[in-house]
Chains A and B, each alone.
Chain A
Amino acid sequence: MNGWLVAATVLLAVGFGPVVWGVATGPLERRVVAQNFGTSVVCLVLLLLSQGYARPSYVDLALVLAVLGPAGTLVYARLLAEDLDDDPPHAHALTVVAASAAVVVVVAMCLATGAGRATVKLVLIGALLVAGNVIASRALSGGFPKGAAASRD
């Protein structure tokens, strides 16, 4: 009914539709990148939905996803390392897009909610999203030294 729900619908259609397509087809590298991008998109959609339904408690979903999404991507980066090794996926553009979209959404929601504990929570979610995106993207592209992973194998 309101602008937040419209924004959530548009973000879901524009962001998550291609993610489903990208994760269902193509080489393994593209699938991992699509899944990582999907967690960021869904986290932002959940934030917009909580604002659209005027239920601040729905923000917890986005908080959980902001913590667990990068953790899931790290699971893939660790356990699929042998398959990803020959052609590590690089998704700098997607990382920048996801991080800037997170900043835009979080700032808009902070302006809408006003100062208070909710704002602190929103800023925390935004920081987790941006940091998680950067860390997951680096881990996927093999940015971290391979000595640690290789010595354990």
Chain B
Amino acid sequence: MTDALTLLSLLLVAASATAAVVVRDPSRQALVLAVLGLALAVLFTVLQAPDVGLSQLAVGSALTPLLILLSVRKVRRRGQPEDGER
């Protein structure tokens, strides 16, 4: 049973990591990355490393998406006037 749990969380991590690579739009990638962080936190907990999972949750669920989305927003705003001039 424990093996099934480990296998399932490993599969979910693999699936979400593949999705994070395949998805190309950065703002959608941020969403997939958040889900990847959740899957990693479950995997770490299943492997009896809750401290690692705790830091993964703290960074992955709110901080990484915030940084990515802020960067996307800044790049978009900087890009718009240049497109207008050209």
Contacts and interface: CB of A to CB of B under 8 A. Distances in A.
Interface of A: 1, 5-6, 8-9, 12-13, 16-17, 19-20, 23-24, 28, 31-32, 34-35, 38-39, 42, 45-46, 49, 53, 55, 57-58, 60-61, 64-65, 68-69, 71-72, 75-76, 79-80, 83
Dominant SS at the B interface? Answer: helix
Interface of B: 1-2, 4-5, 8-9, 12, 15-16, 19, 22-23, 27-28, 30-32, 34-35, 38-39, 41-42, 45-46, 48, 50, 53-54, 57-58, 61-62, 65-66, 69-70, 73
Contacts, number: 114
Contacts of A46: 41-42, 45
Given A12-B12, A16-B12, A79-B70, A69 B31 contact: no
